[in-house]
Amino acid sequence: MFTKWKEQELYQDLNARLILIGIVSSMGALGFGFDNGWWGSALGLSQFQYKYGSYNPSTKKWAIPSNRTSVGTGTGSAGIILGCILAPFVTTILGRKKSFLILSALMVVGVVLEATALTSFWQLVVGRIIVYSGIGLASNLVPMYQSECAPPRVRGAYLALYSFFTSLGSFLSTLTVFLSRSRSDQWQYRVVILCQLFVPLVYVSAYVFIPESPRYLVYQGRLDEAERVMRTLYNHTENISEEVQLLRLQVEEQQELHKAASVMDCFKGTNLRRTICAMGVQILQQAQGVSFIQNFIVVFMQQLGFSDSLRSNVLVTGCGFAVHIITFITFDKMGRRLSLIVGACGLAAMMLGVGGTTAKGVQNLSTSAQNGCVAMLVLWYCIYGITWGPGPWVVAAEVGTGQLRERTLFLASMGSFVTSVPINFVNPYVQKAISGSVTFIYGGFSLIAIAFIWFVLPETKGRSLEELDEMFQAKLSTREFKLYVCTGLGARITKLEAGAEDEENIEKAGNFHEEKA
């Protein structure tokens, strides 16, 4: 068994330092999941409802009004959009590494405001906006940094870390809220908020161990630094010097073929197709209902009649987190297209199943029907965790060309979070009006996602970022990507990154370098 494991690409291409920086860089994703999780769970806490809600004489209970639920949830998305707008400027001017410090500063300020909002709901909202602006920066920075550091054969597994830690953060926060629910004081939920300070603490503590992205260094012409970083990251170091030169030549080639520097360039020529792929998967990730699950699942289960909806929420998020481990294998084995198509089919089935069960109302559901709905929501989150959770981040980080990677990711994450804004603002009202039938809407978007992946998204697994440049520029059809044989600089870079001894290609690279000189 150990011999077979040594033959696996994960064993051959990953090492302790790559794993370490992958975990450290993913702390921004942990913060994202944590803040989402505590908010969605806190909406069901009695102390939170008493502090920020209003008394309903008919039910004799305190509750958060729909308008405050809508504002509190939706403004988080507004903060993410602000962070996405800042991201291309911060990551380009300061570099990937220093951007982690900006992310940390935003989270510290936001968490302090959230935790000290003793009486003011609007202070809590402002704190969420600032925290989520850091999360918006992280949603661009983390996948980009990881895609530029990872070897191509395991890039899918490496980028799955973002979704894995988002799910972990969501599970930890819902679990902490559940364990603190017996408290009757103001610390019932504030302890969860303060736990988010763990994220900036890790970034600051581990800052000296985080290298700058080697591809960013190449883009900046800092070739010696790029070579030193790559020698510490990659297991196959025998051809690092040649690889750095090929990366430099590829950058020069891209600049000669089509100079691109602005957001508008993302919509020109072959870049338009890349942008559609990146934005499409991110928009459809939100449209299939993840914001509904993360933010409104507790309220939804209370509508179903569950007396202990917080416990059920822990079950949903816990199962969703547990299955994320599978994604470290599936995306590089099954590929991006198959994983996302199978995932969308499963997500559609679960949401439509819940809608069908609750179509006649949720007031008189039998116990078996209630349990069936929770089971389908658990399965939905599990399927999401191994497919559409990591998938859009993997795709969005891969498809952009080197000159526009920051801006492509900006547009992709903007598409995702702009989609989440109307969902977060409108869902409380729609859910109140039509109850369980709201899941029909999300199931319908899963059917649209199947068509989008089938007709639009090409297969990108196992290719270097530079190979993908060649393939998009060749204007291949969606189904030609999988079997296409690259012959340019990207193919040589892929072989060198895999440790292949290819003297002919190295010689060609040297000849090309001499011709350029």
pLDDT band at 507 (very low <50, low <70, confident <90, very high): very low
| Cβ(415)–Cβ(279) below 8 Å | yes
Residue 189 has pLDDT above 70, yes or no: no
Nearest Cα neighbor of 392 from 368, 358, 416 is 416
Q: Is the dihedral of CA 456, 462, 465, 466 positive or negative?
A: negative
Q: What is the 3-state secondary structure (H, E, C) of 183-220?
A: CCCCHHHHHHHHHCCHHHHHHHHCHHHCCCCHHHHHHC
pLDDT band at 280 (very low <50, low <70, confident <90, very high): very high
Alpha helices (H) along 258-289: 271-287
For the chain, report the end-to-end CA distance as a whole number of angstroms.
Answer: 50
| Average pLDDT over every residue of 68-97 | 84
For helices 290-304 and 271-287, what crossing angle results, to 10°?
10
* Segment 202-248, tens digit of pLDDT: 999 999 999 999 989 998 989 999 999 999 888 877 788 888 888 88
| Average pLDDT over every residue of 189-201 | 82
- Type of residue at 201: L
The pLDDT assigned to 159 comes to: 82
Range in 319-333, 387-401, 453-467 the model is least confident about: 319-333
* Segment 358-377, tens digit of pLDDT: 777 666 677 788 788 888 88
* Segment 85-136, tens digit of pLDDT: 899 899 999 999 999 999 999 999 998 988 887 777 888 888 889 998 998 8
Percent of the chain residues topping a pLDDT of 70: 86
Q: What is the DSSP letter of 151?
A: -
* Segment 410-428, tens digit of pLDDT: 899 888 878 877 777 777 7
Q: How many Å apart are CA 348 and CA 384, to the nearest integer?
A: 11
On average, the pLDDT of the chain sits at 81
Please state which CATH number belongs to domain 14-210+258-473.
1.20.1250.20
List the structure tokens of 221. 């012409």
The pLDDT assigned to 7 comes to: 65
Dihedral over alpha carbons 329, 330, 333, 335 (to 10 degrees): -140
Give the residue extent of every domain in the chain: 14-210+258-473
| Cβ(420)–Cβ(320) below 8 Å | no
Q: How many Å apart are CA 200 and CA 141, to the nearest integer?
A: 15
The pLDDT assigned to 510 comes to: 43
The pLDDT assigned to 321 comes to: 79
| Average pLDDT over every residue of 370-393 | 86
Nearest Cα neighbor of 309 from 296, 319, 320 is 296
The pLDDT assigned to 188 comes to: 58
The pLDDT assigned to 109 comes to: 94
The pLDDT assigned to 297 comes to: 72
CA angle 424, 430, 431 (to 5 degrees): 85
pLDDT band at 257 (very low <50, low <70, confident <90, very high): low
| Cβ(377)–Cβ(354) below 8 Å | yes
The pLDDT assigned to 163 comes to: 82
| Average pLDDT over every residue of 14-41 | 84
Residue 26: which residues within 8 A CB-CB, separation 6 or more? 142, 146, 161, 162, 164, 165
* Segment 126-169, tens digit of pLDDT: 888 999 899 889 988 998 999 888 887 778 888 888 888 888 88
What's the Cα-to-Cα distance from 99 to each of 182, 212, 279, 345, rounded to whole Å? Answer: 39, 10, 23, 37
The pLDDT assigned to 464 comes to: 81
Residue 95: which residues within 8 A CB-CB, separation 6 or more? 212, 213, 216, 220
Half-sphere exposure of 208 (CA within 13 A, CB side): 1
The pLDDT assigned to 49 comes to: 74
Alpha helices (H) along 358-488: 367-386, 391-399, 405-434, 438-455, 465-473
The pLDDT assigned to 181 comes to: 66
Beta bridge mates, 55: 62
The rounded radius of gyration (Å) of the Cα atoms in the chain is 23
